[in-house]
Chains A and B, each alone.
Chain A
């Protein structure tokens, strides 16, 4: 495997279900991100992990729960979602350096549909 991988690629779940999204990066990066992408809207940053420590949580509802067991793996646990949570969920990674911006590498995303 190379780059950033995500599973599953598609997910349909009911509002009472619990599911998890998985992301793995094979690039040796030290930061990982979860984004939500809805049609015709900017990418919304949900969570940032830097060296496995969560550094950002952009007012995301508690029905989304991230987990970062190590610098290569990132999970997004989902429970009691709402139909408006249907979107493409993208994982990304980057090599953060002190005093500089860094390019992010994206996985293919999970297309989530909440029924």
Chain B
């Protein structure tokens, strides 16, 4: 079967760094997406990785290791507005997105 695993909830302090992990087992791989979803709002795209390595975009970075079926999203200089759920999704052999259940990130002052 296809499976995406990520922690249910994480807590971090304003100004700190947090790493959200995602492991996957899918039928085929055509890239991995990270989305941010604030409560009551639509998911919004953060990053896309298809090759191994680190992609940096401002305070957010995403890493992929295809051999390990592993990715992480790194958030630096955390701000209160970063409190949200972070969704990991893998594009499978049919280019359909397989989604994780999301990680709820709580930022404390």
Contact = CB atoms under 8 A, between A and B. Distances in A.
Contacts of A103: 33, 45, 48
Contacts of B42: 4, 90, 106-109
A42 B4 contact: yes
Given A42-B4, A42-B100, A43-B87, A101 B45 contact: no
Contact of B43 (A40, A45, A106): A106
Interface of A: 4, 40-43, 45, 48, 56, 90, 96, 100-109
A47 to B, nearest CB: 12
B78 to A, nearest CB: 23
A81 to B, nearest CB: 22
B50 A43 contact: no
Interface residues of B, number: 23
Interface string B49-60: 010000000000
Interface string B61-82: 0000000000000000000000
A43 B8 contact: no
Nearest to A106: B42
A101 B31 contact: yes
Interface in B18-38: 30-31, 33
A35 to B, nearest CB: 8
A45 B96 contact: yes
Contact of A104 (B8, B97, B100): B97
A70 to B, nearest CB: 22
Contacts of A102: 95
